[in-house]
Structures are given as structure tokens and as C-alpha cells.
């Protein structure tokens, strides 16, 4: 499934979780045809992330909603600035509001922190990678926020890279055996995925270098 389809699925499920059988607060007191305008005002300095997603959320609920960008994803934001405004039915605005805010706040926080680290790496060839330790069902946008902040996505899930961690190595019976079996598996299955192996000490590193067959060595919790 590509990014667009994954995003639409995320939005659909998130709105269903929030709205359920109806936004009864809005349904009870606001006519369905009433039009309105909402403005997103920035309350903290940082790196903006999620504004493109916000537009998609509003247009998912109301394709004819008018969305105006004042800032773009990845731009520095300052307290008091306006990120966007949207003109739509009030029902649309109130149904989308919480999902938009939750998404942009979380993504902007991740992008801002990532940018702090990537700024420290300027001038070096070192790259900052993320992990699979993400919020369930929100990985797509958390990893997108890392990229907006200047980082790189490591692996997206269990399917797009072989990563031999300590548990795999211990259950398999050793680091050499795990590497050889993983390499043979990739060849037999004709998979176009990389192999990474986790090492716990320099002896492990020496063993991996002796065997070869891997694309990346992780130095796990080294001093």
C-alpha cells in the first residue's frame, strides 16, 4: 500500500474512532448547511509539520473545503504566526479539528526535536535514523515528521529489512548462524531487502566482519 492510501486509511480510522455514530454536540445545535472559517495559530516556536496532512483531512470530509497555506511543512514557525486557514461547513471544521490538532502537534514536536539533532550533525557524514518504536497506528506520520526534521527513516516495519537483534541471535544459536540463515533466506526468497545485525560488544563486531553477508552493523548500547 502506498503512502497516499495508507494516509487515507489512517484518517478514515481516526475519524471513525472520534466521531462514532455522530458528532452529537454539533448535530444538536448547528445547522448542517452553516459555513464557517477556522484559523490555526501557532503557540510555540519550532519546526512546522503536518500542514499538508491537515489539508487532506479537511478535504477528506469536505472535498470543496477551501484551504489556504501560510506556512509549509519544514519551515521554522514562531509563536503568533498563522499556519493555515480553512473555509468549510462548520460540521466539517468541528469534526476535523481534534484530529488535525493532534496530528500537527505530534508531528511538529517530532520534527522540531529531530531538527535539533540534525543541526548538530551538519558538516559531518553522519545521518540520523529513526526506529520502529512508534505510536501504534501512527507510524506513517511519525516517520514522515522525522524526514521533515531532516532525519532519515530506518526501516518501516518487520517486512522491509532483516534486522537480527539479540533475541533472534540467542534463539537461533549464535551470531554467525543467524547471519548465514538470514542470508540464505533472502537468496532463496529472492527478496530485495537489506540485512542488519545488532552487536553487543566488539567481539560480536569481529564475528560479523568475519562472516560478512550483512549490509549494516548496529552498535547497540555501546559506551
* Catalytic residue numbers, as ranges: 98, 133, 165, 198, 220
- Burial label, 21 (beta-carbon count in 10 A; 0-12, 13-18, 19+): exposed
Distance CA 124, CA 3 (A): 30
Give the CA count within 13 Å in the CB-facing half-sphere of 169: 16
In three-state secondary structure terms, 217 is strand
C-beta contacts of 143-146 below 8 A and 24+ residues apart: 144/49, 144/53, 144/107, 145/49, 145/50, 145/106, 145/107, 145/108, 145/109, 145/110, 145/111, 145/114, 146/110, 146/111, 146/114
CA–CA dist 165, 178 (Å, integer) = 10
Amino acid at each position: 500500500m502506498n503512502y497516499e492510501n495508507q494516509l487515507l486509511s489512517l484518517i478514515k480510522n481516526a475519524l471513525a474512532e472520534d466521531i462514532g455514530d455522530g458528532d452529537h454536540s454539533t448535530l444538536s445545535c448547528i445547522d448542517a448547511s452553516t459555513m464557517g472559517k477556522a484559523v490555526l495559530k501557532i503557540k510555540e516556536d519550532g519546526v512546522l509539520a503536518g500542514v499538508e496532512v491537515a489539508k487532506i483531512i479537511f478535504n477528506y470530509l469536505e472535498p470543496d473545503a477551501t484551504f489556504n497555506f501560510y506556512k509549509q511543512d519544514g519551515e521554522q514557525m514562531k509563536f503568533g504566526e498563522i499556519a493555515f486557514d480553512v473555509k468549510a461547513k462548520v460540521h466539517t471544521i468541528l469534526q476535523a479539528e481534534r484530529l488535525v490538532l493532534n496530528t500537527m502537534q505530534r508531528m511538529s514536536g517530532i520534527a522540531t526535536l529531530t531538527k535539533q539533532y540534525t543541526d548538530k550533525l551538519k558538516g559531518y557524514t553522519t545521518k540520523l535514523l529513526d526506529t520502529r518504536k512508534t505510536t501504534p497506528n501512527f507510524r506513517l506520520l511519525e516517520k514522515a515528521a522525522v524526514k521533515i526534521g531532516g532525519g532519515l527513516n530506518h526501516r518501516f516495519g518487520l517486512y522491509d529489512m532483516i534486522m537480527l537483534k539479540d533475541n533472534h541471535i540467542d534463539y537461533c544459536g549464535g551470531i554467525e548462524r543467524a547471519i548465514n540463515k538470514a542470508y540464505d533466506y533472502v537468496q532463496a526468497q529472492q527478496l530485495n531487502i537489506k540485512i542488519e545485525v545488532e552487536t553487543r560488544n566488539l567481539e560480536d563486531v569481529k564475528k560479523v566482519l568475519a562472516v560478512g553477508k550483512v549490509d549494516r552493523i548496529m552498535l547497540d548500547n555501546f559506551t
